Structure 1
């Protein structure tokens, strides 16, 4: 698994596919890692897949600069310039969707098309998240409090474990216990409290409402019908600004439709990616 250095920042990448293929950049969400994008690998064999660990997550060290969605976006834009001279496919989940959309606004020349899975639009997240996890995340922003929470991390895990499933998955979710444990391990990664808190703030400060109509790249929006992390009101914002958006709502799925409803999600993504770009542009 290679590590790229971009502007003195090390970025750990899970990479698959030959170097001469078109790049598909896969961007995970909040409290996650490259693994969050792994269910899509089997249908991306035609691409050179780069699934990143954002700085501060997974095996990528946190950078020295303040965390912001724009900073993540510009860093990944420079990564794309380093690895390819052709427009790439962006596939973003949750906060990774917000980063993808921000790149579309700031660096449109780097992108061919986008797949956005439960993308954060307003940055406000759901009432459930804000009520149950928000106070803990805010506490983690304070350096001293972060040290205190590290000392009682096991007890905090018990709290987050109890609220994670209803926040993340549908009532009849088909996610496997193995996948849930791996996703939970990313949330539990030691020392991640500060970056988690900074990203919580960064998403709220990067509200994309009112800017979506500027996005011209063909895009597929996928949402779990029971998403209790990034609520469907954000999907409504997409439709309000992009009435012709290709938006698919997936039943029996929450915030992780690519794990919970894998076959349906793969079918939508495969159909979108296999459609010639000229036809997509004609439709959009």
Structure 2
């Protein structure tokens, strides 16, 4: 049975296990309000590492945080999901739950899924937040992505390292296969096809989402803006997410 996380200000939270097409995700809902955010985690992560951003969005709408198949508490699927299949699964959940249109917040790998969700199921999306969007076209290899991730972790807060290590262990023996699924995905094309209002976020020292790459993404989308968070790297939604939350709230208010 999936465990409930600590809800912001002890607000009611619900945890749902949802199966579709042979894969299972876990969705936990926090807060109340007419506006709904959904939060898609990065590679090797799960919903438990994003409690800071969930708390900071409290009072600005409901937040649905996911454990995608094979991550967090969600069971390992028989086959590793592509970014497209991840998006189809999230869309199936949103339709089944009567949710949408939502503001989808994707972090790292979650940005790739967010883009596919907006492109393949535009009716369930109101706006898109790409936080630390991967995979940079100049570094589409498992070795490059892994080395950048390790580089980014240097100097991180102990709580981030602990939570990240725990979730990577949960990711299990198929983690390399999952990373490969992000690398083979044509992220650049997916981002370029987005037609919804879009916010691109990056930490100023993020090696996985370099500034030139983020600028290219913004230039390709008709309604997009880029914001940088000083003093942060790739984990800007995990570690002290106040700056990111403020930009997300402003973005949500204008769409």
Band the TM-score falls in, shorter-chain normalisation: 0.7 to 0.9
The 4+ residue runs of structure 1 with deviation greater than 4 A are 121-127
Look at both structures and tell me which one has the larger radius of gyration over its CA atoms: 1
Match of 1:56 among 36, 58, 70: 70
Which residue number corresponds to residue 160 of structure 2? 179
Which residue number corresponds to residue 53 of structure 2? 40
User: How far does residue 236 in structure 1 lie from its aligned partner after superposition?
Assistant: 3.2
Which residue number corresponds to residue 193 of structure 1? 173
The size of the alignment, in residue pairs, is: 240
126 and 227 in structure 1: CA distance in 2 versus 1, 3 angstrom threshold: farther
SS class of match (1:209): helix
Structure 1 unaligned residues grouped into runs of 5+ = 135-162, 278-284
- For residues 195 and 248 of structure 2, the distance between their equivalents in structure 1, rounded to whole angstroms, comes to 19
Which residue number corresponds to residue 167 of structure 1? 152
- For residues 199 and 78 of structure 1, the distance between their equivalents in structure 2, rounded to whole angstroms, comes to 21
SS class of match (1:166): helix
Q: Structure 1 stretch 21-30 or stretch 73-82: which is displaced more?
A: 21-30
- TM-score, scaled relative to structure 1: 0.74
176 and 210 in structure 1: CA distance in 2 versus 1, 3 angstrom threshold: closer
Q: Decide whether the 8 Å contact of 1:250 with 1:261 is kept in 2.
A: no
Q: CA RMSD in A?
A: 2.7
- TM-score, scaled relative to structure 2: 0.82
Q: Decide whether the 8 Å contact of 2:215 with 2:226 is kept in 1.
A: no
Match of 1:15 among 29, 51, 72: 29
Which residue number corresponds to residue 186 of structure 2? 207
- Which of the pair is proportionally richer in strand? 2
User: How far does residue 254 in structure 1 lie from its aligned partner after superposition?
Assistant: 0.9
Match of 1:267 among 224, 246, 249: 246
User: How far does residue 178 in structure 1 lie from its aligned partner after superposition?
Assistant: 2.2
Q: Decide whether the 8 Å contact of 1:123 with 1:206 is kept in 2.
A: no
